[in-house]
Amino acid sequence: MLWDGEGWRRDNDIVCVAWYTHRIGGKRTKRVITPTLKYMTNKLLYFPYIDIPKSNWTVNSILYWDKVGIIVPPSYIEKPKQYRDFTIDLLKTDLIEQIFPGEYIWRVQKFDQGFINLVDQPKFNLKSRQRDFADGIRSRIHVQKFGEELLHHLVELKIAKRKDWPWFHVETRTANLIMLYLATVVSKVGEFTPATDDLGNLDTSVSQKGFSMKLNKTRQKLFNNLMPYPIEPNLTKLRKFKDKHYEELRSFRILIEQTSYELTKFSKAERKESLNLKVAEINDKRDKILSELNQGKFGQITFGTICGVAGAIVSFGQDNKPLALFSLANALYSAFQGYDKQATLTKDYSYLALVDKNFKLE
């Protein structure tokens, strides 16, 4: 069966590395990593947890990216009920996919050593992390063939401890840093964009490139302003919506990525003001397109239907002649033929209007 097995997990369970090549509900198989667009990614990789949160952030991410991946160990293939219900529903409808890091990190020759170099930096502040670990500030990381060298190093530093195999207890900031490191490596190899729903999952104490973080923040602020209403769509409907409007999504994502990139280059004060102006511009375009889409419902009315409607109206008058009736119906039919739905859908931000039209009231 597709969803068999038993299992459970805590809220702070974190997956780290899985080496096997499985697909849920199917046979063991190797998967091919297909290159994507060179100028931008079209896939998101969620971290640090195994289960993706049931939130507006997740739904918006699904609506925005072609694919959304979650990092999972192979044991979840054998016992998928370890997932939460929402994650299972998303997997069933093919709205998210499982990512097995072992398929990617084997290409990075010094994966373990790279992270060891990172934790050996003075800014890592080892003593502070050791105190937190001793005070019980820990997260569980699921490790399957992650790399003995790295694990032993963390244990020797007294910020990790093997417990409840295959789980390791790791100081929480370090656990989040491991997942950020892993997600970044997998994303680099597999052409994903790494993302988290909570910036608290990011450890900023260790030097990291600031532009990517600013870009993610700017993109998220655009989302929050453009789609601020609660969205709890029917997942089957959401899957069909994405399949139907793939071209509109692609155009929308290019525009948002361009906008986010340009805004990120501004100073903080300039970025805030420019973002507000851009949001106002986009919302204005969306509202105009939405108005056209709503008007488009009338474009489906046939000539015969209009004749019938017009006939019902004029039957209340006593002085209307058949010619007048026909002229009115003909005028109505001709007027509605001017509406071109396909032209409307090619306009900037038409995808946002379609999202609003299909999901805002759910």
273-303 pLDDT per residue, tens: 999 999 999 999 999 998 888 775 544 444 4
Residue in 141, 133, 138 with CA at minimum distance from that of residue 49: 141
Looking at the structure, tell me whether residues 148 and 247 fall in a common domain. no
Looking at the structure, tell me whether residues 141 and 232 fall in a common domain. no
Measured CA to CA, the distance from residue 226 to residue 234 in angstroms comes to 20
- Tell me, what's the pLDDT at 170? 93
Measured CA to CA, the distance from residue 15 to residue 73 in angstroms comes to 7
Looking at the structure, tell me whether residues 113 and 131 fall in a common domain. yes
Residue in 81, 59, 74, 83 with CA at minimum distance from that of residue 355: 59
Looking at the structure, tell me whether residues 42 and 82 fall in a common domain. yes
Residue 11 lies in a domain: yes
Query: What band does 354 get if pLDDT is binned at 50, 70 and 90?
Result: very high
Residue with tokens 């973080």: 213
Which among 208, 234, 265 is the end of a domain? Answer: 208
- Tell me, what's the pLDDT at 33? 30
Split into its structural domains, the chain has a count of 2
- Tell me, what's the pLDDT at 334? 54
Residue 166 lies in a domain: yes
Residue 335 lies in a domain: no
Range of the domain at 156: 1-208
Looking at the structure, tell me whether residues 128 and 260 fall in a common domain. no
Residue 250 lies in a domain: yes
Mean of the pLDDT values across residues 80-103? 92
Per the prediction, the chain carries an average pLDDT of: 77
Residue 360 lies in a domain: no
Looking at the structure, tell me whether residues 194 and 269 fall in a common domain. no
Residue 186 lies in a domain: yes
| pLDDT above 60 for 127 | yes
Which among 264, 285, 306 is the end of a domain? Answer: 285
- Tell me, what's the pLDDT at 23? 38
Looking at the structure, tell me whether residues 108 and 39 fall in a common domain. yes
Residue with tokens 């939130």: 55
The percentage of the chain sitting over the pLDDT mark of 90, rounded to a whole number, equals 38
- Tell me, what's the pLDDT at 88? 95
Residue 126 lies in a domain: yes
Residue 185 lies in a domain: yes
Alpha helices, DSSP H, located in 148-267: 148-156, 172-190, 210-226, 235-244, 246-264
Query: What band does 78 get if pLDDT is binned at 50, 70 and 90?
Result: confident
Identify the weakest region by mean pLDDT among 7-21, 138-152, 183-197, 323-337.
Answer: 7-21
Looking at the structure, tell me whether residues 157 and 272 fall in a common domain. no
Looking at the structure, tell me whether residues 35 and 68 fall in a common domain. yes
| pLDDT above 70 for 260 | yes
| pLDDT above 80 for 362 | no
154-206 pLDDT per residue, tens: 999 999 998 877 888 999 999 989 988 899 899 999 999 999 888 766 665 55
Looking at the structure, tell me whether residues 41 and 130 fall in a common domain. yes
Looking at the structure, tell me whether residues 157 and 43 fall in a common domain. yes
Mean of the pLDDT values across residues 77-95? 91
* Proportion of the chain in helix, strand, coil states, percent, rounded to 5: 55, 10, 35
305-352 pLDDT per residue, tens: 444 444 444 444 445 455 454 555 555 445 545 445 666 776 788 999
- Tell me, what's the pLDDT at 1? 27
Query: Nearest 10 degrees: CA dihedral of 161, 157, 212, 15?
Result: -10
Looking at the structure, tell me whether residues 198 and 217 fall in a common domain. no
Which among 161, 180, 208 is the end of a domain? Answer: 208
| pLDDT above 80 for 209 | no
